[in-house]
Amino acid sequence: MAKVTIAGCGIVGATIAYELSKSDLDVTVVDQQPAPVEPDLSVCPSATGAALGVLMGAISKKEKGNNLRMRLAGIQYYERTVPELEALTGLAIPFNRQGIVMLQFESDLSVWERLVGIREQQGWTLEIWQRDRLQQQFPFLNLDQVSAAVYSPHDRQVNPVALTRALIKAAKLNGATFKFNTSVRGATDQSVQTSNGDIASDYFIVSAGLGSTALTAALATPVDIRPVLGQAIEIRLKEPLCANCTLPVISGNDVHLVPLSETEYWIGATVEFPTEAGLSLPPDGAMFEAVMDQAIAFCPAIAQAETIRTWYGVRPRPQGRPAPIIETLPGHPHILLATGHYRNGVLLAPATAAKVRETILGS
Ligand SMILES: Cc1cc2nc3c(=O)[nH]c(=O)nc-3n(C[C@H](O)[C@H](O)[C@H](O)COP(=O)(O)OP(=O)(O)OC[C@H]3O[C@@H](n4cnc5c(N)ncnc54)[C@H](O)[C@@H]3O)c2cc1C
């Protein structure tokens, strides 16, 4: 049985582990964190712990190409795999099936009108909603600056922490081994060196997010992945925005309002690039305020909300090349990079796992 070692147990490593664990492979996942991805932290050590889990597939502006194919594959995968994981593990995975409503602030909607036709040919639905429909459906929205909205009924939102935990439990049930509190230090074509000894491996997969840079430097072929910080908040409203209904994710100017319950919501996230000196920490209060101002502008009730939690995490962004990086390491056909997923790692993890599986198993 071929042995596969995976460095990193965020959403990417966990999805790869689950998919590979369905086959006749001996899968070991190693993560330097003391435990699987944690909810409720204010500083998230992994990107996955900070993510909002918004899955922007059909609503992506990309008309065609590999990135779009990966996005749409992600939507299809979660549609069938979330119930599969819940049945297998007994864990609940909050999964919003109401779609995504993206508010528009420009009067020229020609790009979207064109995309509606393209998506239709591709077998997906996008709708343009005029203001009267929006006002009728979501009377709590302030539409003063809003010209219309694009509605994507097939896009989704998933809780990334619950999802990752379920993937880990399901992979364990299939026989995969997880070693937390263990960091990977390097690898050869036959073994992976960790802080707890060597692991004999036929394949080594680097899905260590930001940690991939140091790991690939240790393998003498560095990939440059830089951090892009994101701040977000969980709030509780005094009154439900709508009673007895589940809302879609509502986005405006890249700010997402993610419903968790009738009164609880996530809002985020900032996109903060590092300077020459690196990341600015603690995070920029002004950028966070700008996100809140935008959210309040389209949903005024947020101004009265109680803060439950604020947090930040960093997205792994490949420097000078598109995200993500899924390829074999030059000169090492059994070492695979599956990293640098930047802003869409939850959405792109399933297609990443499929590509890794195909590289190893040929199917
Ligand atoms: C605020 C915010 C909001 C986001 N919202 C969304 C969203 O709505 N939708 C979406 O699709 N994506 C979103 N993202 C992006 C998404 O979170 C990332 O693209 C994704 O989580 C990357 O997953 P990963 O598994 O590659 O990395 P990570 O989740 O960072 O996991 C990497 C793991 O590798 C481990 N590791 C590192 N080095 C080593 C080593 N040497 N040895 C052992 N272990 C190691 C780390 O401990 C970590 O657990 C968001 C990100 C942020 C920060």
Please say which residue of 300, 318, 336 terminates a domain.
318
Q: Which residues form ligand 1's pocket by a CB distance below 6 Å?
A: 7-13, 30-33, 45-48, 50-54, 183-184, 207-209, 211, 215, 230, 232, 268-269, 313-316, 339, 341-347
Least confident range from 137-141, 249-253, 327-331, 337-341: namely 327-331
Residue 38 has pLDDT above 90, yes or no: no
Q: Is residue 96 within 8 Å of residue 111, measured between CB atoms?
A: no
Output the pTM of the full model: 0.98
pLDDT at 245: 84
Gap from CA of 210 to ligand 1 centroid (Å): 8
Q: Is residue 180 within 8 Å of residue 13, measured between CB atoms?
A: no
Give the CATH number, domain containing residue 334. Answer: 3.50.50.60
pLDDT band of 97, cuts 50, 70, 90: very high
Gap from CA of 54 to ligand 1 centroid (Å): 14
Gap from CA of 309 to ligand 1 centroid (Å): 19
Question: Quick one: 131 and 16 in the same domain?
Answer: no
Give the CATH number, domain containing residue 292. Answer: 3.30.9.10
Tell which atom from ligand 1 comes closest to the C-alpha of 347: 11
pLDDT at 331: 85
Question: Quick one: 251 and 271 in the same domain?
Answer: yes
- Per-residue pLDDT, averaged over 83-111, amounts to 98
pLDDT at 286: 93
- Per-residue pLDDT, averaged over 259-283, amounts to 91
350: helix, strand or coil: helix
pLDDT at 278: 82
Residue 40 has pLDDT above 80, yes or no: no
Question: Quick one: 59 and 74 in the same domain?
Answer: yes
Which tokens belong to 270? Answer: 């900032």
User: What mean pLDDT, rounded, does the chain reach?
Assistant: 96
Q: Which of 32, 48, 20, 50 is nearest to 164 (CA)?
A: 48
Question: Quick one: 233 and 325 in the same domain?
Answer: no
Please give the tally of structural domains in the chain.
2
Element (H, E) at 168: helix 160-173
Q: Is the dihedral of CA 27, 30, 35, 38 positive or negative?
A: negative
Gap from CA of 181 to ligand 1 centroid (Å): 17
pLDDT band of 340, cuts 50, 70, 90: very high
Question: Quick one: 307 and 181 in the same domain?
Answer: no
pLDDT band of 280, cuts 50, 70, 90: confident
Task: Say how far apart CA 183 and CA 108 lie, in whole Å.
Answer: 51
Question: Quick one: 270 and 306 in the same domain?
Answer: yes
Task: Say how far apart CA 100 and CA 106 lie, in whole Å.
Answer: 18
Question: Quick one: 79 and 14 in the same domain?
Answer: yes
Residue nearest atom 31 of ligand 1, based on CA coordinates: 10
- Per-residue pLDDT, averaged over 103-124, amounts to 98
Gap from CA of 346 to ligand 1 centroid (Å): 8
Gap from CA of 183 to ligand 1 centroid (Å): 16
pLDDT at 357: 98
Tell which atom from ligand 1 comes closest to the C-alpha of 346: 11
pLDDT at 330: 85
Residue count of the chain, please give it.
Answer: 363
pLDDT band of 32, cuts 50, 70, 90: very high
Distance of CA 326 to the CA centre of its chain: 16
- Per-residue pLDDT, averaged over 327-335, amounts to 91
Tens digit of each residue's pLDDT (9 = 90 or more) over 43-68: 889 999 999 999 999 999 999 999 99
Tens digit of each residue's pLDDT (9 = 90 or more) over 156-189: 999 999 999 999 999 999 999 999 999 999 999 8
Q: What percent of the chain has pLDDT over 90?
A: 90
pLDDT band of 128, cuts 50, 70, 90: very high
- For ligand 1, mutation pick of 11, 19, 78, 219 (most atoms within 8 Å of CB): 11
Domain that holds residue 120: 96-156+227-318
Question: Quick one: 243 and 306 in the same domain?
Answer: yes
| Cis peptide leading into residue 240 (ω within 30°) | no
Question: Quick one: 272 and 138 in the same domain?
Answer: yes
Gap from CA of 345 to ligand 1 centroid (Å): 7
Q: How far is residue 210 from each of residues 5, 153, 201, 206, measured CA to CA in Å?
A: 18, 33, 23, 11
Tell which atom from ligand 1 comes closest to the C-alpha of 232: 1
Question: Quick one: 23 and 87 in the same domain?
Answer: yes
- For ligand 1, mutation pick of 38, 343, 348 (most atoms within 8 Å of CB): 343
- Per-residue pLDDT, averaged over 255-262, amounts to 97
Residue 363 has pLDDT above 80, yes or no: no
Q: Which of 156, 161, 165, 154 is nearest to 88 (CA)?
A: 165
Question: Quick one: 13 and 132 in the same domain?
Answer: no
Question: Quick one: 118 and 7 in the same domain?
Answer: no
